[in-house]
Amino acid sequence: MALPWQEISNFLNCVDEAGYRATVIALRLMAVTFVRTAELRKAMWTEFDLDNAIWIVPTGRMKMRDPHSVPLSKQAVALLRELHTLTGGQKDAVPKFSQT
């Protein structure tokens, strides 16, 4: 069941108490990027260009098998930079939303 838009603000205010910081970051990134959960969970650091605020999801993870460019807001870039410091951010690594 989808969350009614009237409840999104309250949900995001409660997210910060969700537990692991990486989980909080993942939930917030879902809210600001609107990507599918699998795209986010399987993301690799090499897909992100934080300096130019863009995320290129490769064809293999896209339903229509075309690469997808996700513009990143300032909030998304800040969250990803924080996650990078939490997880080590190795270029070929997945951002690890399940730990920390």
**CATH class of the region 18-87:** mainly alpha
The answer to whether residue 99 scores a pLDDT higher than 70 is no
Taking residues 61-70, report their average pLDDT: 76
* 35 touches 43 (CB < 8 A): no
Q: 30-34, 57-61, 73-77: which has the highest mean pLDDT?
A: 73-77
Distance CA 18, CA 64 (A): 33
Residue boundaries of the structural domains of the chain: 18-87
